[in-house]
Amino acid sequence: MYHLFKAEIVKLLKSKSFLICCIVIVGLSCVLVGSYAMMKEMYSSEAMTQVMEQVGSEGQSGMQEEMQKELGMISDMTGQNLVELSFSGNTIQILLAVLVGIFVCSEFSGGAMKNIASRGFSRVKIYAVKYIVSIFGGELLAVVCVSVMALGGSLLWGFGDVSGSFWEDFAKFLLIQFLLNAALAGFMVCISFILRNVGISIAANIGVLMFATLGLTLIDLIIDSDSFSVGDYWIGNLINQASTFALSNSVIERSVIVSLVMFVLSFVVGAVFFKNSDVK
């Protein structure tokens, strides 16, 4: 199993898909940093001040307060804020779907999986190795994104205040986000092993990621409960809810529970399906 694991790690790091995903995530992160830099410059301009004064003079106090709030957020932007924004917006998640879909399904379409299975390796071990290495690849993408955002924000505006309990909160934030990212990667591996087609797997993983939130929102509207929300237990929503250093105990608990459940289900379902199916 060690040799299989080593071979998969090398395959991942040398794959064009992993390199392209890293380049894309660096590019998108740089664009996002640049966008916030432009917004900060625009919001601090004299023209924006005049616009806000005009809005206030026209009696639109609510809009003025909203603009002042947004202005304050943009004006106080630091590297810390960009780190918080790294996981929101689905950038990492979409590229994760692409990476996992290609890394897993290309083995089936190219016949490599049949060769590996014919060497006498247990199907469960093959799945476990692919599962772990795919999660490792997803975590590397997240590290690249967070690093670029933190570096870009720090170079432009400084990293921000690190006094008090900052480092403890920062560590909790990273642990929860990387845990959720790993659980999502495992879920995508399971889907990819079931579908075994690069295009279909990528579309399915992105589709589930995008439309599950909408579907659960509709369910919550039907249930109409003030004390319980189905959407609060969907990993996509949890990633956005955990995109802050000020994590509540409720978000932490739900993130850990949902991640553990997804780890178990995605591994068991994927391994059982792969063990009982033919490899062509």
- The CA angle 221-243-68, to the nearest 5 degrees, is 85
What pLDDT, on a 0 to 100 scale, did the predictor assign at position 44?
64
**Neighbouring C-beta atoms of residue 33, cutoff 10 Å:** 22
Asked whether 108 and 199 are in contact (CB, 8 A), the reply is: no
What pLDDT, on a 0 to 100 scale, did the predictor assign at position 117?
76
The pTM of the full predicted model, rounded to 2 decimals, is: 0.88
C-alpha–C-alpha distance, residues 95 and 86, integer Å: 13
pLDDT band of residue 231 (cuts 50, 70, 90) is confident
What pLDDT, on a 0 to 100 scale, did the predictor assign at position 42?
72
Mean pLDDT (whole number) for 9-19: 92
pLDDT band of residue 101 (cuts 50, 70, 90) is very high
Tokens 């996981």 locate to 87
Q: What are the phi and psi torsion angles at 183 (to 5°)?
A: -65, -40
| CA distances in angstroms from 201 to 99, 116, 204, listed in the order given | 10, 21, 5
pLDDT band of residue 56 (cuts 50, 70, 90) is low
pLDDT in tens, 138-188: 999 999 999 999 999 899 889 888 888 899 999 999 999 999 999 999 999
Phi-psi region of 248 (alpha: psi -120 to 50; beta: other; left: phi over 0): beta
Choose between 44 and 107: higher pLDDT: 107
**Neighbouring C-beta atoms of residue 271, cutoff 10 Å:** 20
Q: How big is the chain by its Cα radius of gyration, in Å?
A: 22
What pLDDT, on a 0 to 100 scale, did the predictor assign at position 71?
57
Is a pLDDT exceeding 80 seen at residue 38? yes
What pLDDT, on a 0 to 100 scale, did the predictor assign at position 192?
94
Helix (H) or strand (E) holding 36: helix 16-43
What pLDDT, on a 0 to 100 scale, did the predictor assign at position 55?
52
**Closest Cα partner for 92 from 170, 12, 11, 188?**
188
